[in-house]
Structure 1
Amino acid sequence: MKEKNREVISGLLMFLVDILMLLASIGGVVWGIIKTNTEPSPLSIASIIGGAVLFVVWCIFTGGFFTLQPNEAAVLILFGEYKGTVRKPGWHFANPFYTKKKISLRSRNLNGDKLKVNDEAGNPIEIAAVIVWRVENTFEAVFDVENYIDYVKVQSESAIRHIAGMYPYDITDQTHNISLRGSADEVSEALKKELQERLGKAGVIVEEARLSHLAYSPEIAAAMLQRQQASAIIAARQKIVEGAVGMVRMALDKLNEDGIVELDEERKAAMVSNLLVVLCGERSTQPVINTGTLHN
């Protein structure tokens, strides 16, 4: 079975009927008592009994009123049988014997706890996510799972653990294109898709899923920080060397083009060595002035 819309009666209209029923029951009892005291008859006795029965019916009748706010629904159940769902906000009246289970259709935030899991490389990490969800199908939310709120919490934690194990924390080689730290949009989209597959049977729509916390576990955080620093230093050195080689080539080409000085291969090698030391060194170099000839 799937969710089906249920039309109900306006609460204001049935309130007027309810008032008339109450007045009729009181009037019948009072009239019967007065007639019994003055001139007892079967009609007066019947009026008292009828008024009493009508009052009992009125008491049961009042249980049929209920209200719904915007983005709220009521699932109607009669003795264990699903009768439909009311989504229209306002004051309504339905069968007094219906069980009216209200469900909020508003968007909700699930701020997950920090979970300690292993990424694809086996490194322990801490991860958490914020999930925005809402109920779309009230029948599935009420009857297909025991408690749809607890179901969302448990399945969300399971999905986050699964997604964390599919990707490395960071890209350390060329075998991976997506990482948890560097590909936030791709990971969030994968998490949203994973959650929708898991929560769809509970009638839940996942509107958004984002990682709210991502870090290495404390026991390996220091070592991973050193590795990141080493990677950054290597990348910076590589950039410096590439720039220095280009500057040396430009200097040699310019000297040769303008004919300022002619250098043999040995002098070129010495010049390249000196320029690379100057350009790639971490500290500033101290100049040495040559007061002799070029070859001294």
Structure 2
Amino acid sequence: MQEHQAWKVNGFVMLGVGLATFVLGLLLLLLSGSILGAVFFVVTGLIGPGFVMVQPNEARVLIFFGKYTGSVREAGFFWVNPFTIKKRVSLRVRNFNSEKLKVNDAAGNPIIIGAVVVWKVVDSAKALFDVDNYEEFVAIQSETAIRSLASRYPYDSHADDVPSLRGIPDEVAETLKREVQERLEVAGVEVIEARISHLAYAPEIAQAMLRRQQAEAIIAARKKIVEGAVGMVEAALAHIEGQNLLQLDEERKAAMVNNLLVALVAEGDAQPVINTGTLYS
């Protein structure tokens, strides 16, 4: 099924025609009692059901004895085939706010996730004839896409090469939009935006996962600190040796490396020890 434009006539023109046939029929019946007056009345009665008013961002789908004959998308007052059924389809932008769904992420952890999908109908024929109820179809398929997305990514990750729901929100939103669009294409619906609106661990593991996140964050931070400290020590030794500032044997070099690492890695402030010489008795 594909939407196409329906045949229509300016409604004000046909309104004038209807008034003219009514007046002519009335005059003929009153003046001569002619059967032609009755015919004009019948014509007027047939013209009346053909009037339709279309508001902005709205479509009227016309069905003639079970057959789709076209859609009227242009806003205004028109006259169409009076024997058609005229079904209204809104083309306005709408929001679907999903329920908070409990699903398992890629790591198998239960999480609570919700999303907002912004959508609109772009093909009134598909929306009306290719699915049973396009609004309900949008809701069900959007929630299915959200579940599929949640199972594809972990909730969180401290590794740079592992994408997560919290780590790459823009990419996750784009992936969700693409997946929802693929599912709603059959209903003539365009997805304008799809974005996660709620994301949290399930209550039964929330405290445990919070402690785990804190531990992972501490480990990741300490790893970065150690890597940075080692790099600073290497640079300091290379600078000292390159400038010939000091001649250090292996034992003194090891002592300097130890002292520098302690000063750089320690959580508290380093306490300097001043060497004032050796006291001989």
What are the equivalent positions in structure 2 for 1:62-101 lying under 5 Å apart?
62-101=48-87
Aligned in 2, Cα 1:253/1:20: closer, same or farther, shift over 3 Å?
A: closer
Aligned in 2, Cα 1:190/1:256: closer, same or farther, shift over 3 Å?
A: closer
Aligned in 2, Cα 1:260/1:219: closer, same or farther, shift over 3 Å?
A: same
> Is residue 2:29 matched to residue 1:29?
yes
- Greater mean deviation of Cα atoms: 66-75 or 9-18: 66-75
Q: Which residue number in structure 2 is paired with residue 154 of structure 1?
A: 140
For residues 172 and 280 of structure 2, what CA distance do their matches in structure 1 show?
63
> Is residue 2:1 matched to residue 1:16?
no
For residues 193 and 259 of structure 1, what CA distance do their matches in structure 2 show?
61
Q: Which residue number in structure 2 is paired with residue 167 of structure 1?
A: 153
Q: Give the CA deviation at 1:239.
A: 2.8
Q: Which has the larger radius of gyration?
A: 1
Consecutive unaligned residues of structure 2, counting only runs of 5 or more, are none
TM-score (norm 1): 0.82
Match of 1:124 among 96, 110, 114: 110
Aligned in 2, Cα 1:253/1:53: closer, same or farther, shift over 3 Å?
A: closer
Q: Which residue number in structure 1 is paired with residue 203 of structure 2?
A: 218
For residues 243 and 64 of structure 2, what CA distance do their matches in structure 1 show?
100
Q: Which residue number in structure 2 is paired with residue 283 of structure 1?
A: 268
> Is residue 2:163 matched to residue 1:186?
no
For residues 203 and 279 of structure 2, what CA distance do their matches in structure 1 show?
60
Q: Give the CA deviation at 1:251.
A: 5.0
Aligned in 2, Cα 1:294/1:156: closer, same or farther, shift over 3 Å?
A: farther
For residues 105 and 119 of structure 1, what CA distance do their matches in structure 2 show?
35
TM-score (norm 2): 0.86
For residues 280 and 80 of structure 2, what CA distance do their matches in structure 1 show?
109
Task: Name the aligned partner's letter for residue 237 of structure 1.
Answer: R
> Is residue 2:242 matched to residue 1:237?
no
Task: Name the aligned partner's letter for residue 210 of structure 1.
Answer: R
How many equivalent residue pairs?
A: 281
Q: Give the CA deviation at 1:110.
A: 1.9
Root-mean-square deviation over aligned CA pairs: 2.8
For residues 93 and 216 of structure 2, what CA distance do their matches in structure 1 show?
43
Task: Name the aligned partner's letter for residue 267 of structure 2.
Answer: E
Q: Give the CA deviation at 1:214.
A: 2.0
Give the % identical residues: 56
Q: In 2, are the aligned partners of 1:105 and 1:134 still within 8 Å (CA)? A: yes
For residues 76 and 245 of structure 2, what CA distance do their matches in structure 1 show?
94
SS of 2:157's partner is coil
Q: Which residue number in structure 1 is paired with residue 121 of structure 2?
A: 135
For residues 7 and 14 of structure 1, what CA distance do their matches in structure 2 show?
14
> Is residue 2:184 matched to residue 1:199?
yes
For residues 93 and 190 of structure 1, what CA distance do their matches in structure 2 show?
44
For residues 189 and 221 of structure 2, what CA distance do their matches in structure 1 show?
48
Q: In 1, are the aligned partners of 2:7 and 2:80 still within 8 Å (CA)? A: no
Match of 2:254 among 248, 262, 269: 269
